[in-house]
Chain A
Amino acid sequence: MGLLDKEFSDGNIVIAKVDDLFNWARLSSVWQLGFGLACCAIEMMATSMSHYDFDRFGVIPRNTPRQADAIIISGTVTLKMALRIKRLYEQMPDPKYIISMGSCANCGGPYWEHGYHVLKGIDRVIPVDVYVPGCPPRPEALLEGLLKLQEKIRNESLRKKSA
């Protein structure tokens, strides 16, 4: 990214593009809405604990949608819950990102045919940025998803809404 490429000799001034600086700041502190739904939530919690520790990448659970940057849809979304998720998503400030974690949130998972109560994919309600496959995905897979989201933020521009 080259933030330090053009360092002046006294060391106190750094020249960078606004896009690069903002993107670097935003991708380094993705606060995710602390929100779990099913067995995927257990893996998400494991990812937040010391073994995998997504705080390394600046991801911190934030327990209010008003101050969250991302939401990880970690588990089976029932029709009843889908309305609440939509409400939470609308309460988040822009720019906001969504990681769909696991088969249920991606496409309904094992409930795709006979699950009368399950929304067949969270992307029917809110726009998804990163899909993490698995049932449930291992913490490594969720970390990969978070890195993919960082990659997406890194390539964004202030002029264009999304990369």
Chain B
Amino acid sequence: MKSAEEIFDILKKKFGDAVLSLDKDTPVEQIISIDPLKINLISKYLRENPELQFDSLMCLSGVDDANGIKVKDAEGNEIIEGGTLSVYYNLHSVSLKHKITLKVSTPRNDPQIESLEKIWKSANWHEREAFDLIGIKFLNHPDLRRILMPYDWDEFTEEISRHPLRKDYKNPEFYQGMKVPY
């Protein structure tokens, strides 16, 4: 069983700049921030290192940080420009009984994160969900389709109505001839 500081030190020694920081000011598990394009290498190491053995990806959450600037677009909708989207990975080692949370942040205008599907299979649908609802592209994902919203959602909606859990999301008026708002 290792503490978050020990795990952070192991990763920092191995991967250097790809491991950004350790956030200790959290109510539960401490959070290690990672470079979004190195997350697959670091995750593989976390899983396979005999000292760490993170064999379970418990949860994967996409988050809209909404830390950009609010501006009006051509149609008068308030949209967010700049800032980041984030993904949190909650890892657990069943054999060693320790936990850690990883965080990656990626620019809102071109959100790209390496997929972890090859490391933990549970990431497959979770990443599809983050892609569907937040709009994060997971590189090297084998099947990056929408999972909850209709597959043809894009054909009937504007750019601002693509990903419902973005903070500047606007509900479309119609989908397939059905009125959407109340």
What's the least CB distance linking B65 to chain A, in Å? 20
A160 within 8 A of B: no
A80 near B150: Cβ-Cβ < 8 Å: yes
B149 near A117: Cβ-Cβ < 8 Å: yes
- A124 in contact with B179 given A116-B164, A117-B148, A117-B164 (CB within 8 Å): yes
* Bound CA–CA A34/B171 (angstroms): 32
* Bound CA–CA A107/B178 (angstroms): 14
- Closest 9 A-B residue pairs measured CB to CB? A116-B164, A80-B150, A120-B182, A112-B182, A79-B175, A116-B171, A124-B178, A82-B178, A108-B182
B125 within 8 A of A: no
Query: Which of A116, A117, A119, A120 has the most chain B CB atoms inside 10 A of its CB?
Result: A116
Interface positions, chain B 154-182, Cβ under 8 Å from A, are 164, 169, 171, 175-176, 178-182
Q: Which residues of A contact B181 (CB under 8 A)?
A: 120
Measured CB to CB, the residues of A under 8 A from B are 79-80, 82-83, 107-108, 112-113, 116-117, 119-120, 124-125
* Bound CA–CA A83/B153 (angstroms): 13
Task: Add 12 more A-B contacts to A116-B164, A125-B178 (CB < 8 A).
Answer: A79-B175, A79-B176, A80-B150, A116-B169, A116-B171, A116-B180, A117-B148, A117-B164, A119-B178, A120-B179, A120-B182, A124-B179
* Bound CA–CA A88/B50 (angstroms): 54
Q: Which residues of B contact A124 (CB under 8 A)?
A: 178-179
Q: Count of chain B residues with Cβ under 8 Å from any Cβ of A?
A: 13
10 CB-based A-B contacts, threshold 8 Å:
A79-B176, A79-B180, A83-B150, A83-B176, A108-B182, A113-B182, A116-B180, A119-B178, A120-B181, A124-B178
Q: Which residues of A contact B149 (CB under 8 A)?
A: 80, 117
**In the complex, residue of chain A having the shortest beta-carbon distance to the beta carbon of B156:** A79
* Bound CA–CA A107/B182 (angstroms): 8
What's the least CB distance linking B19 to chain A, in Å? 36
A79 near B171: Cβ-Cβ < 8 Å: no
* Bound CA–CA A86/B133 (angstroms): 25
